[in-house]
Amino acid sequence: GENVEQHPSTLSVQEGDSAVIKCTYSDSASNYFPWYKQELGKRPQLIIDIRSNVGEKKDQRIAVTLNKTAKHFSLHITETQPEDSAVYFCAASGGGGSNYKLTFGKGTLLTVNP
Amino acid sequence: GAGVSQSPSNKVTEKGKDVELRCDPISGHTALYWYRQSLGQGLEFLIYFQGNSAPDKSGLPSDRFSAERTGGSVSTLTIQRTQQEDSAVYLCASSDRVGEQYFGPGTRLTVT
């Protein structure tokens, strides 16, 4: 089955700096890659996603890049703000005929220091 | 419109008792998913429903776990003879297309 690795597990940045979180996946058939943000005690919320027919997608301060050859994708947050502090999860789906099942990474705890 | 809702929000039960967790998906979403999140861990897939059928139950950790969905809407996850290792947050999600899953607030289960 699919395996998703996520790094780093924790990331601390100063307000205004950029943050980058990286994920790799194992199943070359995967074709959908969402990112979720989970604040403490809250539900995971979809913040951005990318499908395998594009290499990059941007939404204001958030961007995601995808390299299908290398089987990795990354989340980029620019001009970080304290409210960006949360756990971020990457996920992949579409591999092995399971086009519905999301396989998640273990998460990155992002702390933005004011 | 209303998002995914789950009840109860918290459940404390004694080891060996059965529990039922409920999920109300977003209206019109045909797909429904259950995940488990242990402290400091990622999300572990449990089961997937398309309509009322469950084509993938591969993530259920043991035969003590079961789930059903009725009327293409509400789903119930049942854990029989609960064990301490079942303590976790159980999250439900729904979607109307492949991939874009929207999560409920979860049920925090504590087995004492």
Tens of pLDDT, residues B30-58: 899 999 999 877 899 999 998 888 888 88
DSSP-derived secondary structure letter, A83: G
Q: What is the pLDDT of residue A46?
A: 93
Check if A61 contacts B (Cβ < 8 Å). Answer: no
Q: Do A102 and B100 touch (CB under 8 A)?
A: no
Q: Does A49 touch chain B (CB under 8 A)?
A: yes
- Residues of A whose CB is below 8 A from B103: 36, 43-45
Q: How many helices (H) and strands (E) does chain B have?
A: 0, 11
Q: How far is B59 from chain A (nearest CA, A)?
A: 10
pLDDT of residue B42: 83
pLDDT score at A96: 59
Residues of chain A positioned with their CB less than 8 A from the CB of B105: 42-43
In Å, what is the CA distance from B20 to each residue of A10, A48, A106, B8, B17?
Answer: 34, 33, 27, 9, 10
User: In whole angstroms, how far apart are CA A13 and each of A17, B25, B60?
Assistant: 6, 36, 38
Contact A99 B100 (CB under 8 A): no
Report the chain B residue with the minimal C-alpha distance to residue A4.
B42
Side-chain-side CA neighbours of A114 within 13 Å: the count stands at 2
* Ramachandran bin of B107, using left for φ above 0, alpha for ψ from -120 to 50, beta for the remaining angles: beta
Longest Cα pair distance anywhere in chain B, in angstroms? 39
What is the per-residue pLDDT for A98? 61
- Flag whether pLDDT at A97 surpasses 70: no
Q: Which of A44, A89, A101 sits opposite B45 (nearest CB)?
A: A101
| Interchain pair B42, A99: CB under 8 A | no
Q: What is the pLDDT of residues A29-55, one digit of tens each?
A: 899 999 999 999 899 999 999 988 779
